[in-house]
């Protein structure tokens, strides 16, 4: 695959990036180098090589989930600007469409 200025412009548009003309030329050169490096892999004999799934053999130590009450309902509602017994009151954000 060959990277040209058009390809960089398309990728920049999709990524919502802006490059100056000088930066576009630098990107073309950098991307060509990256693709050339990746293309080197095709020269290797990878017939009996297993895909790498994990970088290490370590396992993540998970803690047991425990349900605890950190904030009571009354504490949570204490500083609410507007509340109704058990709930926060918030302004309407959706309006009903008039027929």
Question: Is 50 inside any structural domain?
Answer: no
3 exposure class (CB count in 10 Å sphere: 0-12, 13-18, 19+): middle
Question: Is 90 inside any structural domain?
Answer: no
Q: How confident is the model at residue 99 (pLDDT cuts 50, 70, 90)?
A: low
Count of structural domains, the chain:
1
For residue range 16-66, list pLDDT tens digits in order.
Answer: 999 999 999 999 999 999 999 999 988 889 899 888 888 888 888 888 988
Question: Is 35 inside any structural domain?
Answer: yes
Is the pLDDT at 68 greater than 80, yes or no?
yes
């Amino acid at each position: 695959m060959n990277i040209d200025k058009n390809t960089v412009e398309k990728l920049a548009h999709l990524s919502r990036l802006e490059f100056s003309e000088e930066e576009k030329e630098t990107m073309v050169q950098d991307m060509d180098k990256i693709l050339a490096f990746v293309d080197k892999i095709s020269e290797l004999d990878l017939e009996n090589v297993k895909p790498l799934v994990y970088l290490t053999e370590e396992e993540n130590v998970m803690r047991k989930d425990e349900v605890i009450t950190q904030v009571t309902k009354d504490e949570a509602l204490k500083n609410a600007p507007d509340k109704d017994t058990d709930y926060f009151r918030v302004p309407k954000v959706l309006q009903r469409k008039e027929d």
